[in-house]
Amino acid sequence: MTAATRRPARPDAAARGATGTGRAAAHHGEILQGVFLDERRRPCHGLVTLPVVGRGSTARFTQRPETPPEEVTVSPAGRTKARAAAVLAVHACAARRREPCGGELVLTGDLPVGLGMGSSTSDVIATVRAVAASWGLLLPPRTIARIAVRAEGASDPLMHGSRPLLFAQREGRVLETLGTALPPAVVVGCALGGGEPVDTLSLPAPDHGEDLHAYEHLRRMLRRAVTDADTALLGRVSTASARMRQRVLRHREFPALTGIADSTGAAGIQIAHSGNVAGLLYDPRTPGLHRRLRRCARALDRAGIPQTRTFTTFATPHQRGVPPWTHTSRTPSADRT
């Protein structure tokens, strides 16, 4: 029980139990998403996300002893996936400690909803960690992934940290650990399609025939890109994946985005397969990088594509991973939660 729940000043303090806090990061959409072979050579939906530093969700769960475990209130209202995850986590945690009970869930964060940055998964993971913390537990990523898939229907691999993983989003399991970190890249983020949400589960599934061979080829290329820290190869993979997904998403800005990448010397483009966030990838070792980034920003403005934020795939001493020579700008639609 926390000190806050022992304070007699609150009239309902006696009805409250322990409080736990959990946090989860976000991502910037996918580098690669499609159909791949699992360890038994069976076709399986999978993805590799692009981590983004410094953004995410925080959850606080306060137990209410002697209430049914399904009695979970959530704020802000409408976070139904997080609420479902809380109930599932209560049962999973209480089974190891004592009888389950309901509680109060409060979510905070700075993630835009519907752009494809994993806002719902971030909420869900933070929630599961908060519930577990209220029982004095630290659940392993595999358990969190199972709960997340049950709560959402599909999940991003945010519970596993920032390592590049090929993750079966509809099954909650890792298909392959590609390495310890993605190749170094500076990502100029932008928003497509007016930031409208995309219902991933309603989209047509990739073809298991011809597409399977293409995606397995991209998987091998990405594996090599990670091993060799090859940013150019990373850009080729993400661009090819985005181009294949364009058959389903059909972003009208796609030609403009690829044109800007070509004209400014970007390694490639990256587009969320479950939303409208996108990015242009630049090798930080490229000569004249400052000039290229300025030209990119001007070209995005001319094309009417809002720039959101610039970040890196590698650690820097600066807040949110943004080196001093990059420009960070945000549009209201891109930062609205």
Domains of the chain are: 3-175 (3.30.230.10), 179-335 (3.30.70.890)
Residue 326: HSE in the Cβ half-sphere, 13 Å Cα cutoff? 23
Query: pLDDT of 123-154, one tens digit each?
Result: 999 999 999 999 999 999 999 999 999 999 99
pTM here?
A: 0.84
Mean pLDDT of 231-260: 94
Look up tokens 């079966």; give the residue. Answer: 168
Contact 102, 67 (CB under 8 A): yes
Query: pLDDT of 46-78, one tens digit each?
Result: 999 998 877 889 999 999 999 999 999 999 998
Look up tokens 């999978």; give the residue. Answer: 46
Average pLDDT, the chain: 85
* pLDDT band (50, 70, 90) for residue 202: low
Whether pLDDT at 204 is above 50:
yes
What pLDDT does 337 receive? 26
Amino acid identity, residue 212?
Answer: L
Residue 54: HSE in the Cβ half-sphere, 13 Å Cα cutoff? 14
Look up tokens 């509809």; give the residue. Answer: 170
